[in-house]
Amino acid sequence: MPTVGIIANPAAGKDIRRLVAHGRFVPNQEKVNILARILAGLNSTGIRRVVMMPDSALLGRSASERAGGELCVEFLDMPVFNEERDSSRAAELMAEMGVDCIITLGGDGTNRAVAKGCGNAPLVPVSTGTNNVFPSMVEGTLAGLAAGVVASGAVSPAKTIATRKRLEVHVDGKLRDIALVDVAVSKERFVGARAIWEMSTIHEIFLAVAEPSSIGLSALGAQLHPAPLGSDEGVYARFGDGGTVVTAPVAPGMIVPVAVDLWRTIHSGDSSEVSLRPCTVALDGERSFTVQRDQKAHVTLNSQGPRVVSIEAALREAALNGVFSSPHPSTDGRQDR
């Protein structure tokens, strides 16, 4: 039976950038509404089994109570710690179950956590904020429809699913963590409030994606050299006087000039050493761990990241295949020409 997994992060869209910038705050009730619309989309495609990650805010349970049709919504049997590892563990369990598609509700950080555990399962990332690059700002109904036609096999994976890039951070030769959009090396010695918003604290960045239409470090890198989601390129930049000054929207409502000492494009397989130690390393906008003075860290761009569904491509392919159309009963299959 085709099965779709859903991982909704109740903490997404609520970090400190909502205070220091003009980021959009997404309340839990709106997340419940989005999930309810996702379930409606899935139901209309014939999906009957949905597996959800449990969460402390009961987002999934609230939405499932409003689900109509013949959907059977199950919840994973797992502890909830209100931490990143919840999303990673949920993705692992769903991959072990063989789900046909996973819908994520959250930001870049949520999707990074999911990507660490989802294996080959394709993702439909739905954004719940304004500072995200990896997930799309899309109506939940459309996300449910796209996930449904992919999971049911109604559309071709080759035409609707693409493999994204990822950045791998190795410390002393061992893989420490990954990022889907950016790795930032911070001068701060401690993780602290985690979220990155003060550009003066950043020493250098590694970007898997540099989109001019995005907000954050990705937008900054795009002013140097655009590196779209579908390319095999990325961007490296070190901040400081002596090179060029780039102006970009580094956070919602924050458009600032940033001095770039040097920059270069990076390609899949390229590995670059982190030039500042000690430092803290931020992954997709959040400081995650510290690199000590006697440690060595490298960042590698890898083209074999998570598989992601193009919602637009999936819905177009479904329309071309006639998934949502059928002859009216009164015509007996005849159509006017």
**Residue ranges of the domains in the chain?**
3-164+306-326, 166-302
Residue labelled with tokens 């039976």: 1
The pLDDT of residue 24: 62
The pLDDT of residue 284: 93
Q: Is 149 helix (H, G, I), strand (E, B) or coil?
A: helix
Residue 107 structure tokens = 């930001």
pLDDT at 194 over 90: no
Phi and psi at residue 284, to the nearest 5°: 50, 45
Q: What is the pLDDT of residues 130-140, one digit of tens each?
A: 678 999 899 99
Opening angle at CA 132, ends 131 and 135, nearest 5: 155
pLDDT at 111 over 60: yes
The pLDDT of residue 130: 63
**Do 147 and 42 contact (CB within 8 A), yes or no?**
yes
Q: How far is CA 109 from CA 134, 236, 266, in A?
A: 9, 20, 22
pLDDT at 2 over 50: yes
pLDDT at 104 over 50: yes
The pLDDT of residue 334: 53
CATH of span 166-302: 2.60.200
Sheet of strand 182-186: strand arrangement: 254-267, 233-251, 202-207, 182-186, 279-283, 286-291
Confidence category of residue 19, pLDDT binned at 50, 70, 90: very low
Residue 214 one-letter amino acid: S
For the ranges 6-10, 121-125, 242-246, 331-335, the lowest mean pLDDT is seen at 331-335
Sign of dihedral through CA atoms 219, 223, 228, 232?
negative
The pLDDT of residue 220: 94
Q: Is 152 helix (H, G, I), strand (E, B) or coil?
A: coil
Cα(161)–Cα(155) distance, integer angstroms: 10
- pTM, full prediction: 0.91
Q: How far is CA 180 from CA 50, 206, 239, 280, in A?
A: 26, 11, 21, 18
All residues at 6 or more sequence positions from 109 whose CB lies less than 8 Å from its CB, including other chains: 12, 84, 283, 284, 285, 286
The CATH label, of 3.40.50.11780, 3.40.50.170, 3.40.50.10330, 3.40.190.10, for the domain at 3-164+306-326 is 3.40.50.10330
Percent of the chain exceeding pLDDT 70 equals: 91
The pLDDT of residue 92: 98
pLDDT at 193 over 70: no
Phi and psi at residue 201, to the nearest 5°: -90, -5
Q: Is 113 helix (H, G, I), strand (E, B) or coil?
A: helix
Give the H/E segment covering residue 203: strand 202-207
Residue 258 one-letter amino acid: V
